[in-house]
Amino acid sequence: MTPALSIRDLGIRMGGRQILHGVSAEIHEGEFIGIFGPNGAGKTTLLRALLGLCPISCGELLVFGKSPGKANHSIGYMPQRGDSIEGTALSARSLVSAVRRGESWGIPWPSSASRNDVALALELAGASSYADRPFSVLSPGEKTRVMLAQSLIDKPRLVVLDEPLASLDPKNQMLLVEHIEKLRKETGTTVLFIAHDINPLLGVMDRVLFIAGGGAALGTVDEVITAPSLTRLYGMEMDVIKTDKHVFIVSSESNVTEAACHA
């Protein structure tokens, strides 16, 4: 079976700097992959590369067996921040409608099938109750859910979510993770989910992709979130503290816990 994502010896250079090098990973269809790593490690860059939005400088990157950009109709993408649409006067529902595959020009006049798809995406993202309010007046957490609905329209085979938990309180983080997991179970969608805190995803991830120091490690939490593996990636002494329910990543050199359990 063709993997959802096949990455071989990938290198990405930008602005004269090597951002990623020697990254290899194979992700199977239907997997839930948590992507972690420090700020500036290249997590967003990798997601943009698989969408064809950022050129690769060496190696191979295939999405459902196709070159980056060629499988975008199968991908639902939630970018890291919604700054570009922040001030829009459109309602949340219109905003979600507007991303439907560009089937028509001008102001969209959605068919009833299209209206149903939009309603379903809003429902799946838990955003139905405020779908008719202007996007600009929604709270950051509500905006997150509307952007999630945008990524779920057109029933994607792969959902790519860049820090969807960033503006959510712990309860809503849990609800959103449950939503995504339910969707994955019902539809078999592959999920790539970037987060800084590994803990909200512990119960749902199949494997983690940890990116640091330009490289990456893919495996189960027990394989990757270990002191030797993270020390190798960060290029500095790292410790991992595991309790029954939580995982804490600690820099042993500075003796400072990275924002208490944040990667």
Ligand X SMILES: Nc1ncnc2c1ncn2[C@@H]1O[C@H](COP(=O)(O)OP(=O)(O)OP(=O)(O)O)[C@@H](O)[C@H]1O
Could you list the residues that contact ligand X (CB under 6 A)?
A: 14-15, 19, 37, 39-45, 80
Number of residues that make up the chain: 263
- 17 is written with which tokens? 């700097």
**Minimum Å distance from CB 181 to Mg ion?**
22
Residue closer to ligand X (CB basis): 39 or 112: 39
Residue 55 interacting partner from ligand X, Mg ion, none (CB closer than 5 to 8 Å by kind): none
Contacts of 47 (CB under 8 A, 6+ apart): 35, 77, 160, 162, 192, 194
> What x-and-dash track marks residues 28-47 binding Mg ion by CB under 5 A?
---------------xx---
Q: Are 172 and 89 in contact (CB under 8 A)?
A: no
Site for Mg ion in 44-83 (CB under 5 A): 44, 80
Residue closer to ligand X (CB basis): 92 or 249: 249
Residue closer to Mg ion (CB basis): 80 or 172: 80
Beta bridge partners of residue 17, listed in sequence order: 14
Which residue is at the shortest CB distance from ligand X?
15
Residue closer to Mg ion (CB basis): 44 or 97: 44
Question: Which spans of this chain sit near Mg ion (rule: CB under 5 A)?
Answer: 43-44, 80
